[in-house]
Amino acid sequence: MAIGLIIIGDEIMSGKRSDQHFPNVVQILKERGLGLDWARYVGDEPERIVSVLRETFSGSDIVFCCGGIGSTPDDHTRQCASIALGKPLELHPEARIKIIERMVETAKDPSRVDVDSPDNVRRLKMGEYPAGSRIIPNPVNRIPGFSYGTHYFVPGFPQMAKAMISWALDTYHRPLFHQTEYAEKSVVVYGAVEAKMTPLMEKIEALCPAVRVFSLPHMGNTRLSNYVEMGVKGKPENLEQPFRMLIAGLDEIGAKYQLN
């Protein structure tokens, strides 16, 4: 199963806030022997959110969607998920309990909480999810996220999202953890011009389809401070032969390199 990430919010698209979800999710997955296959950023535009969700719901990927599940007018994700699935929004009974618990916790006088007050009615809308959804517990403020199939919807607050995504993986996808271990072997090539090394990379990938060849260029202040990290990645048992080919090819073109 591929794993994807959708990050929603105008504040991310405008640069008003820097995205923390992407590095958090990469780290969460790495700790479990998993990797991120794709990511998409979407502003607070309902039609576009619906279009993206219709596309991802039609597949079998595990998808984490961060942002837009609050109750303010710029939060559209719950409604968009409802439209994309063709399922009505319903107040989830467990979410209702959790939200009321939060109301009581934050009230000046817990004994006089009016669940039917306009403000609290709006708060309860955060527990409205597409029919058939499950809740994702929120250890920070109790307001749950929700899941439908292998889609997991969490708040835009990175601290909450990180804990909730970890919980979803540990609860529903533990059998996928550490199924395939990947490794890398690389060298640092100094004063390198990638174009000269491209035929070598193409040759290795053609002869060793079980691995991927990669090059990560670094541009310094001078030609001599330029370098490229170049290597192969894949299952550990598949790396030795293509790495020997890489070293032999670099020697053949007279490249200056250092084992990484």
Q: CB within 8 A of 30, min separation 6: which ones? A: none
Please report, as a single letter, which amino acid is at residue 119: D
60 vs 46: CA distance, rounded Å: 23
What domains lie within the chain, and their CATH numbers?
3-176 (3.40.980.10), 183-259 (3.30.70.600)
Q: Which two structure tokens, joined as six digits, stand for 151?
A: 């889609």
192 vs 226: CA distance, rounded Å: 7
Parallel/antiparallel/unpaired status of strands 151-154 and 62-66? parallel
150 vs 61: CA distance, rounded Å: 7
Please give the chain's pLDDT, 260 residues, in tens. 899 999 999 999 999 999 999 999 999 999 999 999 999 999 999 999 999 999 999 999 999 999 999 989 999 999 999 999 999 999 999 999 999 999 999 998 988 899 999 999 999 999 999 999 999 999 999 999 999 999 999 999 999 999 999 999 999 999 999 987 789 999 999 876 677 889 999 999 999 999 999 999 887 766 556 889 999 999 999 999 999 999 999 999 888 999 98
Parallel/antiparallel/unpaired status of strands 62-66 and 3-8? parallel
Measured at the alpha carbon of residue 118, what is the angle toward residues 113 and 122, in degrees to the nearest 5?
95
Q: Which two structure tokens, joined as six digits, stand for 234?
A: 């894949």
